[in-house]
A = this chain, B = another copy of it.
């Protein structure tokens, strides 16, 4: 379980199962890039009643910044635009709690994008409530 790929798969499945139990339809992107270089593939897509969440997953034990490749952020953003959905970075904290950040919290830093405070960000319940209340600021992303 120290293999980074199997760890990533385990963490993806953990969030996928959590969202499934909360009533979302969830699909995990293929782990390898085989044959899909022409299309960006997110870690997870979670959908409930036409509301689409497009999710990249990161793990963090503390509050140090997370850096994301520009290509990954642009892919995530384009995927969410096509889907009419919300692009999110899901951060798994040590112990298994999750924090969700919208893509507009990222700061460009030349070749990459920085998420400065992984510990801030929505909890899973905040996200669900925002979707259910149709939170204006958050859900201006969601056309459905």
Contact across chains for B27 and A41 when beta carbons are under 8 A apart: yes
* This chain: copies in complex: 2
Q: How far is the CB of A142 from chain B (nearest CB, A)?
A: 7
Q: Which of A58-105 touch B at CB < 8 Å?
A: 79-80, 82-85
Q: Are A25 and B144 in contact (CB under 8 A)?
A: no
Tell me how far the C-beta of A31 lies from the nearest C-beta in chain B, rounded to whole angstroms: 7
**CB of A29 within 8 Å of the partner chain:** yes
A98 CA to B93 CA in the complex, in Å?
A: 44
Known contacts A31-B30, A39-B26, A54-B25; A48/B13 CB under 8 A: no
B17 adjacent to A39 (CB under 8 Å): yes
Distance between Cα atoms of A94 and B25 in the complex (Å): 32
A11-47 near B? 1/0 per residue, CB < 8 Å = 0010011001001111111110011101101100101
Chain B residue contacts of A7, Cβ below 8 A: none
Cβ contacts under 8 Å, A144 to chain B: 49-51, 84, 143-144
Contacts of A79 in B (CB 8 A): 25
Given A9-B34, A30-B31, A82-B24, residue A47 in contact with residue B52 (CB < 8 A): yes
Q: Is the CB of A23 within 8 A of B143?
A: no
Q: How far in angstroms is the closest Cβ of chain B from A97?
A: 21
CB pair B82 A50 closer than 8 Å: no
* Structural contact, A83 and B25, CB atoms closer than 8 A: yes
